[in-house]
Structure 1
Amino acid sequence: MFKALMLENTDGFKASVTQVDEARLPQGDVTVAMAYSTLNFKDGLAIANKSPVVRQWPMVAGIDGAGTVLESSHPNWRAGDAVVHNGWGVGETHWGCLAEKARLKGDWLIRLPSAFTPRQAMAIGTAGYTAMLCVLALEDHGVKPDAGEVLVTGATGGVGSVAIALLAKLGFTVVAATGKASEEPYLKSLGASSVMDRTTLSAPGKPFQKERWAGVVDAVGSHTLANALAQTRYGGVVAACGLAQGMDLPTTVMPFILRGVTLAGVDSVMAPLVKRQRAWDRLACDLDPALLETMVHEVPLEAAIASAHDLMDGKVRGRVVVRLAV
């Protein structure tokens, strides 16, 4: 038996931390003893039942996990290996990692970078790994630190916090957009040069506005993304990875055809292994573990449900790490 955060929908939705028989674990070629997991936006949606994230019931929540291999029939893994898991539909169609044990596919795993402990890997989680993918998208499209300001929306969230820290270390001038004015000291401690009120971006705006941003990391979507695009400088790049405000995009083609703006979509869930490995290798080089610690709030598994609701209510700053090992 092992503890897991189980989501059920038989006689109405229910989320609970319960004991689960190991015989119920799904098919997979690697069994992992999970040391830590985390709460990402998608986890919050699933646990708080805010969106139809879960596709099969019952479901163990948790798209991320870090731990040690217990058993493996996969050629790349053996007992004792330290591994990290992100995405791949886990917590949606396959039992997830907010549990003391998980059975996964070896092809989904990457080796825990030596620069990080399992706790630090989950302080990064999908949110931080996505932030790195966004930074790589800006770099790959030619955005350099001397090109001008880079905007980060949803700045106090997991993606935003890590993106600010990464971009600042790489020499970019970062402007953080947030609705939490009291968090300005926190955002500047991560490396933001200035902080702006998100309301200047979140309302409907003109399709073409004064040029400002050389690059954008957007985890918000909707009008915020539309306004960011309308303000992006000639040849600039917007990396879009989230939909906290909404999944709509009320914009026009004008930024693309008159300013040559690139909208780069960033997916972390099904990204191929080579892209994942590149992101984690860069995180190991470019993310300061001490700075990472300032973003982290650790909770036991029993507190994860309440923390998920706090995440959905906008009460969480940075990253929530869920402790699974005793």
Structure 2
Amino acid sequence: MDNRAFKAMIVTETEEKQFVRAIGERHVDDLPVGEVLIRVRYSSLNYKDALSASGNKGVTRRYPHTPGIDAAGIVAESSAPNVKPGDEVLVTGFDLGMNTSGGFAEYIRVPAAWVVPLPAGLSLRESMIYGTAGFTAALSCLRLIDNGVAAGHGPILVTGATGGVGSIAVAILAKCGYKVMAATTKGAETSYLRQIGANEVISSSEVDDQSGRPLLKPRWAGAVDTVGGNILSTAIKATRYGGTVTCCGNITSGELHTSIYPFILNGVSLLGIDSVNCPAPLRRRVWKRLSGEWKLDHLDTITTELPNLEALDERIGLILQGKNRGRAIVRIGD
């Protein structure tokens, strides 16, 4: 392919700690080394993208930069024997959109090991409705199930339930027959959460215990925590004997203050969820579930589709203000 120009979001540090983002022009030769060049059709907006697009150097060290930790599209060029031009593929996780030029662009170039063939049963658009958030939610649910938490054991708590990970976790668990208790700060979204499968909606304040007690009255058989901090601590303390809590986010805090008592007296398991460097066999297993038995019936209910890259700016502001609901995807090419 010639050194063609393409559109991309470009975030630039204009002076120390001052950043601007704009849709500009890049060239294929500007992209990093990799075996696979992909013409992007859809991407999605995650909290990590909003941080990168705002100059957060805990996510992205070097600017100018193109964010976008998710991308789905068609292979334009490939030197890898197992990836062919014309293949429909997706990329989530690894370093895409962090320090490697990401999916908020018409082209990405990545190592072949990052590329996942589009699973049968999913369109490129649907794969980005899931994206990293949906993959993380599904991985959390899979770990709960693999660790022995059955639907008959009691309700499953999902924190940050209106967010991307939370919304999809609620929907997957409901589809699998679990009773779901959705915790949110957004009481106005109760009908939305019930629509996607929540049996009960509670305020996040009910999962923010300030008593200092090491154990609380058991309320749920397991939990998918997306926010961290004291809410995670509370979720652990109120989990029933033998239950499991998964942890995948730190939007409230990266610190965890608890005691060993839930673990040694109630046999609670705490499982960390890493969707970035997830091994390929597990990654494909999760995507197979999402395209098959866990494919959601109401994907559009949780989705806002942005028509182009220019529409990302406003949505980035909403996600940083905590006003985002569900998933936002962006259409990049025809």
User: Smaller-chain TM-score range?
Assistant: over 0.9
Rounded Cα–Cα distance in structure 1 between residues aligned with 2:191 and 2:157: 17
CA displacement at 1:289 relative to structure 2: 4.3
1:2 aligns with 2:9: no
Contact preservation (8 Å) 1:48, 1:312: no
Rounded Cα–Cα distance in structure 2 between residues aligned with 1:184 and 1:159: 17
CA displacement at 1:325 relative to structure 2: 0.5
1:101 aligns with 2:98: no
Partner of 1:318: 326
Secondary structure of 2:255's partner?
coil
Q: How does 1:163-312 map to 2 (within 5 A)?
A: 163-202=169-208, 204-205=210-211, 206-299=213-306, 300-312=308-320
2:70 to 64, 83, 87: 64
CA displacement at 1:90 relative to structure 2: 1.2
Rounded Cα–Cα distance in structure 2 between residues aligned with 1:322 and 1:290: 20
Rounded Cα–Cα distance in structure 2 between residues aligned with 1:50 and 1:184: 32
Deviation string for 1:132-152 (max 9, x for gaps)? 000011011100000001000
Deviation string for 1:157-197 (max 9, x for gaps)? 01011101110011101000001111111101111101000
Rounded Cα–Cα distance in structure 1 between residues aligned with 2:231 and 2:153: 22
The AA in structure 2 aligned to 1:271 is C
CA displacement at 1:17 relative to structure 2: 1.3
Deviation string for 1:66-87 (max 9, x for gaps)? 0000000011101000001001
CA displacement at 1:110 relative to structure 2: 0.5
Partner of 2:126: 120
Rounded Cα–Cα distance in structure 2 between residues aligned with 1:51 and 1:74: 32
Partner of 1:74: 80
Q: Which has the higher contact order (CA 8 A, sep 6+)?
A: 1
Secondary structure of 2:328's partner?
strand
Contact preservation (8 Å) 1:207, 1:226: no
Deviation string for 1:251-288 (max 9, x for gaps)? 11111111110000000001010111011001112334
Aligned length: 326
Contact preservation (8 Å) 2:72, 2:124: yes
CA displacement at 1:56 relative to structure 2: 2.6
CA displacement at 1:8 relative to structure 2: 2.0
Structure 1, unmatched stretches of 5+, are none
Identity, in percent, stands at: 42
Write out the 4+ residue segments of structure 1 that deviate beyond 4 Å after TM superposition.
Answer: none
Structure 2, unmatched stretches of 5+, are none
Bigger mean CA deviation after superposition, 222-231 or 52-61? 52-61
Contact preservation (8 Å) 1:295, 1:319: yes
Rounded Cα–Cα distance in structure 1 between residues aligned with 2:22 and 2:177: 44
Instruction: Kindly report the root-mean-square deviation, in angstroms, between the aligned alpha carbons of the 2 structures.
Output: 1.2
CA displacement at 1:225 relative to structure 2: 0.1
CA displacement at 1:50 relative to structure 2: 4.9
2:143 to 117, 137, 142: 137
Rounded Cα–Cα distance in structure 2 between residues aligned with 1:147 and 1:232: 11
Rounded Cα–Cα distance in structure 1 between residues aligned with 2:210 and 2:133: 27
Contact preservation (8 Å) 2:43, 2:104: yes
Secondary structure of 1:317's partner?
coil
Deviation string for 1:92-151 (max 9, x for gaps)? 121111100000111101111121111110000000000000001101110000000100
Rounded Cα–Cα distance in structure 2 between residues aligned with 1:190 and 1:308: 24
Contact preservation (8 Å) 1:48, 1:309: no
Rounded Cα–Cα distance in structure 2 between residues aligned with 1:113 and 1:142: 27
The AA in structure 2 aligned to 1:250 is H
